[in-house]
Structure 1
Amino acid sequence: MRSPAELDTVPWHSLTHAYGSAEDVPELIRAVYSEDAEVAEEALTELFGTVHHQGSVYPASAPSVPFLAHAVLHAPGGRRQLLWLLAALAEHGREDREGARWSGGAVEAICEELCRVLPGLLPCLDDPEPEVRRAALHVVATVTPLLPYRTWGAALARVEAVHAGDPVPRVRADALVVLNRFGRVLEPLDSPLAEVRLAAARMTAERCGPPYAPQVVEILAEDGAEPDPVYADIHWPDGVPLEELLTGDPDAGLAVADRWIGYGDLGGRGTRLAERIVETWRDREPEALELLLPALAERRGDPEGLGAALGVVVPWIGHVPQPEPELTDPLYELACAGEEVSDTALLGRGYPWAGLSNPALFALVRARDPRALELVPDHPDTRLLVLAAECFPAAGDRLVPVIGRALRAGAGGSERVALVEALASFGPGAREAVPELLESLRTGRAATAAARVLGRCGAAAPGTVALLGEAALRPDSSLALASTLARFRLTGDPEPALALLGELLCDGGGAAGHLGAAALLGAAAAPLLPLVEPWLTSWKREDRRAAAVAHHGITGSVERAVPVLADLVAPTLIGLGALESLAAIGTCPEELRPVLRGFAFCPLRLLGRPLFPEEPHPDERLRSAAWRLLTA
């Protein structure tokens, strides 16, 4: 250890921390010794932001360690914070020690310094303050694998004494964690102390892996219902968070989540665990949502609690083929009542839910419950209408007028685009909204989307073709292309679209979108084939996919398209697009079948959540496309 008198022997001016030169470090360390508690606390806060900053360390960090260790023993206060700072500086995992950047790096230098001063810090394990003892245990844990033999033996003996006799259960549990890091595999699952049992169960689960033993699951469910007193505010080196451990065994995780929710779901831990499981594992949605049934009934009048429950129900109920009335009936009652829900709780689920006028109704729509159609007209939220159009494409007679009213009421910007695009779900059933679509085309508000829908719904109202022709002359290439394609669909004349696509494909920009447009022309796009074929070997995967789809759409031949698409298939968004294109073609290369079986039967989700809650889950699309091809 080094006293403040030695601070000037270190060339701090040549070292750096998070904000540049480390010249201010001596002043900060001296301030830690101040009799003025406020001055000392401010200096510690500064050190947490300079020599250690959001998990990063710097050249000035290791030289600070012996001075900070001296302050632990001799400064008038701040012992716990100083120990936590030392632990944070030395924080690392096994993968760090095995990485190429370890040798000669800042963290290695910090750990070497901490190993040298650790013998002098061991008396802190007998400090009268429990939180100081906990912090000291954490310091020992950070460098346990690196300690020299003599220090290792002395530290082990002190930690064993804490585990055997400390009067505070959570300190004894901390000591158990450290002993296991020393290689002392202890499993006191029958300890009379809940904190010790819980720590033992966590480490047993981590070491043995899933499926977890019934005794371990019972302890995690019973003793873990409250925020974990040992792990809640500590990140142990190489430790795995409890929720992550339980997610690895979905049966155990759902059983534990059920118990935690039954005990009041403190901190939303049970709800959060159930959500993690359905985000990770396929086909666990019915079980997870069943756990939340009590919350939907019991948390009325509790905006936070109800928001947390709905934040799980809304995105996942659509994955249940036929939700039971036990789930949909409470949602219907909540939707009718317009129960207040916290936006903060909804956002906490990781989706952009904030601002939904009626989340329960949103969930009812996702469940495809026909009762939702009674309520949607009275809640014309744009996202709700878009989702309703997707979930009830046969209900155009009820939904198209509602969307039309929203458009006439002046919806603009991205909301207008979304409403217009939603009309495409109804096909010819969207013709009632043709006046609104034509108005969008005339005014340029959501004009591109309107042109696309006019073509898809076959709406050849008087003046439509002429208006599309005028829109095709505007400088916006996206609008021009959508208008010429719509005109082709209504009249069968491909010439304007061919001329425009020829220019766009020669230009090269936005190739994937232009190639997709060529595919829509089908055989009529045969003159464009020489411009399409070079894109089959593009370095951009999305361009190759679009070119393959276009080639097949134009020629009807699978010889060129299928190998390109098969080569792109992977559990990625572009690979998913290629797979769905293959499924639409209906040809499955034999060599692709093992990959498709993996996509279809893997119990884990291979793709993560969609960007927006209204979108179908990419993993469900992946599995569905794989099944379609395997059974083609």
Structure 2
Amino acid sequence: MDLTRFLADVDAQPWADLQHAYGSAADVPGLLRALAGESEEAASEAVSELYGSILHQGSVYGATARAVPYLARLAGAGYRTEDLLVLLGGIAEGGADDGDGDEAACRAAVVAQLPLLLATVDAEDQGLRRAAVRAAAMTGAAEKVLPVLRLRGETETDPGVRAELLGALARLDPAGTAAAATAALGADEPAEVRIAALLACVDGGVPWEPVHHGAMLSLLPANDLVEDRLDLEHGEPLRYVVEALLLRDTEADREAAYTLLDAALRSTVAGAREEALWAAEEACLLSRGAPERLAGAVPMLSADPADVPEAYALLMKLGPRAAAAAPVLALLAEGEGDPADRALETLVAVAPERAAPLLARDLGRRPRALGAACGFLTGGTSGTTFPYDSALLDAIRARLGADGLDAYEPVRLASLLTAWGSRASAALPELRSALPRFPAALPRALAAVCPPEHRAATAELLTTAARSGPEEGRLPAAQAVRELTGETGPLAAAVAAQCARGGHAVREAAHLAAELGPEAAGLVPALRSALGGPADGHDVPRLEGDIAIASALWRITGRAEEAVPVLADVLARLDAEWTGWTAVRAARAAAAIGDGARPLVPALEGLLTGGLRTPTAVLALHAIAPESLDRPRAAGLLLDAAEADADAVTALEALVVLGRTALTEDHRRRLTALAERDLRVRSSGVVSGMARADERLREQAREAVRTLS
């Protein structure tokens, strides 16, 4: 390669006009120059920077496709060949086979380099062969690639390349590769080849048989066997196999997955159980039946206290089903430092009644367990609170007067007291004393625990805090005054002051004004003055604040003409990519207005594109202009959203609102499946609460089935 001509060609391209992950691609020529330079360190840094810019976390850009021919020419000329072939494979993987966007352009650009890739499949160096096999497979060009890879497979002897070949063939032709993969499962094959063959069988849909079960167990621990593979998707083989079997969603495959997990969890091979625990955790997140099926392994998991810490994450996902582990968890929780805290955190999930007195014993040094206890309040079923314990109440009272509390502890202590309510009234003196130190965290707890005979004095304290205390505590204090006494003056004054200050807290102030309703008529000018507008563009906090203000104006004045123009402006400024939940809140605000929000119908209909925005848009249109809805089509969109976990709770709510006549037989079948299938619907949110959230969603789906039958 004529390097001078190559670099001149690079410099002639309009890189500054192209985009990558960090904006202008003007830096790409310098990176290409570094790849062809004499400094190994500079070339390595250039490869790393290219991964960060033109292939950022698997995403490709306009500059990516333009760079591909130059990367290929450098690779073909011997400059960082293996690294660049791997990069080209990643670009192809991030591309697409159709369309006219950046993804399709990138895939096509790498396909155009197949002559180089396929020629390198026969390179002398095994690292080059592996990289070329992977990159060629990622192009998806099966007709051109498969014959070359199969021919190579007939003579290849290196286990690493053979493993890569099996993975590549399975990607391009999963069913056609199944026989070869099954043949490579034998114990006489290298372990790297056997695990690749097993994964190829799974990807090819081969029925799971005893031979696969035995091979998987014999290969554990398996993660190291794929450590050198370029295929990161299979980086944890046991977890991948379990997930694949569960996703097949048949009784036979579920039984195979749980039988495999049970055997792996009981393995005495070093490292095997650790991989089994990771796979079991994934199963709990994926399958509704997993916690019940895996509970039988708990006695074995907790047999040796020294081994229990490895199982904490799984035990927390099993929750009360892991009660057999409670004695050993309690024993470990009586220790010192973070190890004891982690044991107690797990005990909170498994046996909260047993955890409460242990948490009381050393509350100040158990931040994990305290956080879990407070998470219990929000992650459990409706009405569930962490168990009241008098010793824990005494410990909380002592902590409220202690020095050195971090930013989270007062909030967590207050949340427990709030949940316990009047049972925690003994903490009233400590809450009153600590209020100046934690003005935002404690007002709600003060109102919740305060007995009738102390309401007047507590309300006076909170009123002073609302009028002259630290700014961050004025709204919470004023709200607590209202909860205690029903008096709204301090709250109205605090809302007006917050509206005058502006900022992101306007949204909270507007919500509180809305709760006051017509009593807050005097706040209307302040709310109007706090509105944003087109100059704020797509600033999400300002959009959210405007929605809250629109709702407050409607609740206070009852005049749609106050609120509808604000919501219309918000809906016009929504960005499809970043403002999904903002659109949901705008649609909810419109729904509350009802018929008076008819001017918003076209904008709301524009939200019926599937996904997160659709459920609330259906509810809004049903409330505002029900005649505008194609109800069977809307029911289908709602089921799409529920199945994709796109605000599934609202989707089911909207289905019930539409009524049974909107549902076809196929709709009914899909709704029943949501309620009764094994695969979880809820797949997003905080991991520790996903299973409980899915259980609540399943009950909602079952109720919807009963209502719509």
**Considering the TM-score relative to the shorter chain, is it more than 0.5?**
yes
Please give the residue correspondences for 1:69-468 in structure 2 after superposition, counting only pairs within 5 Å. Answer: 69-71=76-78, 82-91=81-90, 92-93=92-93, 96-101=96-101, 105-112=105-112, 114-118=113-117, 120-124=119-123, 127=124, 130-143=126-139, 145=141, 153=147, 156-162=150-156, 166=157, 168-180=158-170, 183=173, 184-185=176-177, 186-190=179-183, 191=186, 192-193=188-189, 194-208=191-205, 212-227=208-223, 229=225, 231-236=226-231, 242=237, 243-250=239-246, 251=254, 252-261=256-265, 262=267, 263-266=269-272, 268-288=274-294, 290-291=296-297, 294-298=300-304, 300=306, 307-314=309-316, 316-318=317-319, 320=320, 322-325=321-324, 327-338=325-336, 341=339, 358-380=341-363, 381-385=366-370, 387-388=372-373, 390=377, 393=386, 395-410=388-403, 411=405, 413-441=407-435, 443=436, 445-460=437-452, 461=454, 463-468=457-462
Indicate the residue corresponding to 1:76 in structure 2. none
Query: Does the residue aligned with 1:604 lie in a helix, a strand or coil?
Result: coil
Indicate the residue corresponding to 1:45 in structure 2. 44
What is the CA-CA distance between 1:428 and the residue it aligns to? 0.6
Partner deviation per Cα, 1:158-192 (whole Å, 9 max, x = no partner): 33322xxx2x4443333333444564533342433
Indicate the residue corresponding to 2:585 in structure 1. 542
In structure 2, the CA distance between the partners of 1:106 and 1:177, relative to structure 1 (3 Å rule), is closer
Q: Provide the aligned length of Structure 1 versus Structure 2.
A: 566
Given that 1:160 and 1:175 are in contact with CA atoms closer than 8 Å, whether structure 2 keeps it comes out as no
What is the CA-CA distance between 1:403 and the residue it aligns to? 0.8
Q: For the residues of structure 1 that align with 2:516 and 2:671, how far apart are their CA atoms?
A: 30
Query: Does the residue aligned with 1:371 lie in a helix, a strand or coil?
Result: helix
What is the CA-CA distance between 1:407 and the residue it aligns to? 0.4
Q: For the residues of structure 2 that align with 1:601 and 1:536, how far apart are their CA atoms?
A: 42
Given that 1:176 and 1:199 are in contact with CA atoms closer than 8 Å, whether structure 2 keeps it comes out as yes
Given that 2:153 and 2:165 are in contact with CA atoms closer than 8 Å, whether structure 1 keeps it comes out as yes
**Root-mean-square deviation (Å):** 4.8
Given that 1:588 and 1:629 are in contact with CA atoms closer than 8 Å, whether structure 2 keeps it comes out as no
Aligned-residue sequence identity (percent) comes to 20
- The unaligned stretches of length 5 or more in structure 2 are 247-253, 378-383, 523-553, 572-582, 595-618, 627-633
One-letter amino acid of the counterpart of residue 409, structure 1:
A
Partner deviation per Cα, 1:398-432 (whole Å, 9 max, x = no partner): 32211111101133533212212220111111210
- Structure 1, 61-70 or 517-526: larger mean CA deviation: 517-526
Match of 1:601 among 645, 655, 676: 676
Query: Does the residue aligned with 1:311 lie in a helix, a strand or coil?
Result: helix
Indicate the residue corresponding to 1:78 in structure 2. none
Q: For the residues of structure 1 that align with 2:111 and 2:407, how far apart are their CA atoms?
A: 56
Q: For the residues of structure 1 that align with 2:397 and 2:360, how far apart are their CA atoms?
A: 11
In structure 2, the CA distance between the partners of 1:64 and 1:597, relative to structure 1 (3 Å rule), is closer
Partner deviation per Cα, 1:22-47 (whole Å, 9 max, x = no partner): 2563564253xxxxxxx5x4354145
Higher helix share: 2
In structure 2, the CA distance between the partners of 1:133 and 1:188, relative to structure 1 (3 Å rule), is same
In structure 2, the CA distance between the partners of 1:147 and 1:70, relative to structure 1 (3 Å rule), is farther
Query: Does the residue aligned with 2:223 lie in a helix, a strand or coil?
Result: coil
Indicate the residue corresponding to 1:36 in structure 2. none
Indicate the residue corresponding to 1:348 in structure 2. none
- Structure 1, 501-510 or 365-374: larger mean CA deviation: 501-510
Given that 2:591 and 2:620 are in contact with CA atoms closer than 8 Å, whether structure 1 keeps it comes out as yes
What is the CA-CA distance between 1:280 and the residue it aligns to? 1.9
What is the CA-CA distance between 1:15 and the residue it aligns to? 6.3
Q: For the residues of structure 2 that align with 1:260 and 1:421, how far apart are their CA atoms?
A: 40
Please give the residue correspondences for 1:454-533 in structure 2 after superposition, counting only pairs within 5 Å. Answer: 454-460=446-452, 461=454, 463-474=457-468, 479-491=473-485, 493-496=486-489, 499-500=492-493, 513=508, 517=512, 529-531=555-557
Query: Does the residue aligned with 1:233 lie in a helix, a strand or coil?
Result: coil
Given that 1:468 and 1:484 are in contact with CA atoms closer than 8 Å, whether structure 2 keeps it comes out as yes
In structure 2, the CA distance between the partners of 1:299 and 1:547, relative to structure 1 (3 Å rule), is farther
Q: For the residues of structure 2 that align with 1:260 and 1:153, how far apart are their CA atoms?
A: 38
Given that 1:504 and 1:514 are in contact with CA atoms closer than 8 Å, whether structure 2 keeps it comes out as no
Please give the residue correspondences for 1:574-593 in structure 2 after superposition, counting only pairs within 5 Å. Answer: 575=647, 590-591=659-660
Q: For the residues of structure 2 that align with 1:449 and 1:178, how far apart are their CA atoms?
A: 56
What is the CA-CA distance between 1:203 and the residue it aligns to? 1.8
Given that 1:336 and 1:375 are in contact with CA atoms closer than 8 Å, whether structure 2 keeps it comes out as yes
- Structure 1, 91-100 or 572-581: larger mean CA deviation: 572-581
Q: For the residues of structure 1 that align with 2:204 and 2:155, how far apart are their CA atoms?
A: 24
Q: For the residues of structure 2 that align with 1:179 and 1:581, how far apart are their CA atoms?
A: 46
Indicate the residue corresponding to 1:29 in structure 2. 36
Given that 2:428 and 2:446 are in contact with CA atoms closer than 8 Å, whether structure 1 keeps it comes out as yes
Does 2:72 match 1:65? yes
Q: For the residues of structure 1 that align with 2:336 and 2:584, how far apart are their CA atoms?
A: 46
- The unaligned stretches of length 5 or more in structure 1 are 32-38, 73-80, 342-356, 552-559
In structure 2, the CA distance between the partners of 1:464 and 1:63, relative to structure 1 (3 Å rule), is closer
One-letter amino acid of the counterpart of residue 223, structure 1:
L
